[in-house]
Structure 1
Amino acid sequence: MITPFEITCVILSGGKSSRMEEDKSLLPFASKTLIQYQYERLKPYFKDVYISSKVDKFDFLDKKYLIIDENKEVFSPILALDTIFKIFQNQKIFIITVDSPFVSIETISKLIYESKDCDICIAQTEKTHNLCGIFSSNISISIKTMISNHIHKVFYLIKNNKFKIIQFHNNGEFTNINNKNDYKEALNNIILPYNR
């Protein structure tokens, strides 16, 4: 019996996928799409899992779990976070991208545990994973200030709030599917049932 985490998960799936040259969220992945794979593997572990996107493109999803980005012209995770925290106020959210399907539940659990005394808690291996971690609605004012100043760098948001960076040692777990080669490699690394 799985006891879900007490926080909500939001999967970011509104990027351009420019390096992939097609919408990566809809790529075939383990007999479904990448977004459905990511959604279904995380769903048992959270009280709720939502998807943030520019448009409704998901035939498997109950529409009440879809968050449509208010700004459809500019592709920026900062704008997505702004929309998300207009919905989820006074709470912490686990944020993850659609293109990182191998982050383990143990890693997510550690990030949640370590986030108790900060507003942002993210993962780091050889590089920092700015969009894999816990984000508090306390950062909403910072986000709005950044947008008004046309600043869209996620690490700028992180370093201007109370943050914590947690070190992990498994680089492969944080693989991002950004291009065709990444995708081919990821297909060879799918673990079923969903990796824990």
Structure 2
Amino acid sequence: MELKELNCVILCGGKSSRMGEDKSKLKIKNETLSEFQVKKMSHFFKKVYISAKEDKFNQQFSLIKDDLKFQFYSPMLALYSIFSYFKDEFVFILSVDSPNISENEILKLHSFLKEDYRIIIAKTKSYKHPLCGFYHSSLKNLCEEYLKKNEHKIGLLFSQVKTKFVEFENEDAFLNLNFYQEYEKFKSEFK
């Protein structure tokens, strides 16, 4: 399946507790981080959606809201809600705070779709990056099982389904803006 036939979902529903303010609304030049990510990913994918607890963007984006039967912040809940929206397809999942992901990383991950994996995520020497990769929507029921057990770590899925960890050398591509200093540094280097 071609990249342009697939959808992308940017996760914007976290609490941003380490940042101290909503990461999705941080400004990069004259746009928010959400606008920046949606615009960039729109070049590669059929459609780009935002995942969040509520519409904090005034209908600016195509929104996938967290399922209201669960009242907590959780990446597992975001995945469950996303997989409830899509039927039998791969979706590219990316956190809003990973602004350096480029077409190169996406294409390398995409190259493994033709194999029999249900999850394909990036891995660097330091970390696995569960919020940068392709997930199959058939994982919905498994996500729901974990939510009912109050389990929220996405890594739990990796041992349950066939998962590919795609190795990358460049740690910089997987920068996460978790702290205000990281955001300030990124903003000052952004051209």
> TM-score band (shorter)?
over 0.9
- C-alpha distance in structure 1 between counterparts of 2:8 and 2:187, whole Å: 24
In the alignment, residue 139 of structure 1 is paired with which amino acid?
L
For 1:90, what is the secondary structure of its paired residue? Answer: coil
- C-alpha distance in structure 2 between counterparts of 1:89 and 1:47, whole Å: 15
- C-alpha distance in structure 2 between counterparts of 1:162 and 1:141, whole Å: 16
Tell me the TM-score normalized by structure 1.
0.90
- C-alpha distance in structure 1 between counterparts of 2:67 and 2:144, whole Å: 13
Tell me if structure 2 keeps the 8 A contact 1:4–1:44. no
Structure 2 portions without partners, runs of 5+: none
In the alignment, residue 157 of structure 1 is paired with which amino acid?
L
For 1:11, what is the secondary structure of its paired residue? Answer: strand
Root-mean-square deviation (CA, aligned residues, Å) is 1.5
| 1:70 correspondence with 2:70 | no
| 1:27 correspondence with 2:26 | yes
Structure 1 portions without partners, runs of 5+: 192-196
Aligned to 2:163: 163
1:11-50 equivalent positions in 2, closer than 5 A: 11-50=10-49
1:107-186 equivalent positions in 2, closer than 5 A: 107-116=105-114, 117-125=116-124, 126-186=126-186
For 2:16, what is the secondary structure of its paired residue? Answer: coil
| 1:106 correspondence with 2:108 | no
Aligned to 2:53: 54
In the alignment, residue 9 of structure 1 is paired with which amino acid?
C
* Cα distance per residue 1:117-136 (max 9 Å; x no partner): 20000001121101100000
Runs of 4+ in 1 over 3 A off after TM superposition: none
Tell me the TM-score normalized by structure 2.
0.92
- C-alpha distance in structure 2 between counterparts of 1:19 and 1:109, whole Å: 31
For 1:142, what is the secondary structure of its paired residue? Answer: helix
Identical columns (%): 39
For 1:95, what is the secondary structure of its paired residue? Answer: strand
Aligned to 2:94: 96
Tell me if structure 2 keeps the 8 A contact 1:27–1:34. yes
Tell me if structure 2 keeps the 8 A contact 1:115–1:164. no
- C-alpha distance in structure 1 between counterparts of 2:185 and 2:122, whole Å: 22
- How many residues align structurally? 187
Deviation of residue 159 (structure 1)?
2.1
Tell me if structure 2 keeps the 8 A contact 1:30–1:37. no
For 2:98, what is the secondary structure of its paired residue? Answer: coil
